Structure 1
């Protein structure tokens, strides 16, 4: 499940896991980078999304935020806290129908 979360974060941010991310003068992981963006609200989260992604509406932006939050949940340290793939699929299907 961790792999799925990482791939989703790489896809949405266009930042490779193996790349170096500098934030406020320190080097952080991709997960930390995405997590820190949530501290700034929706606009901050959307600001880290790849510019090539077309996000024409607030509804679409909300979906992107939810997918990134789901991706983060898939990378939680404790495996028991991570969603199982069935839950991930259910969440993604619900988002596709909004």
Structure 2
């Protein structure tokens, strides 16, 4: 199974960004399957370009496998629910052909 990729797009001026990163880290630490977590600040060129291409206008934003899942800070339960849905969809997609 491919790992689930979680990106948190943050801003140093956003008071909510640290909480979003904390929630994502808590979830990753509890997962029993591969998850990659990356934090991307909009002040970096790469972070700004990523936010621009996805039309993200506010932070924090949480992406799961390249798709915007949340703008703002979800609870750990909300984030877990979406990650589990993505994981199930990935399993179904890969099992369909084999």
TM-score by length of 1: 0.34
Question: Greater share of helix residues, 1 or 2?
Answer: 1
TM-score by length of 2: 0.34
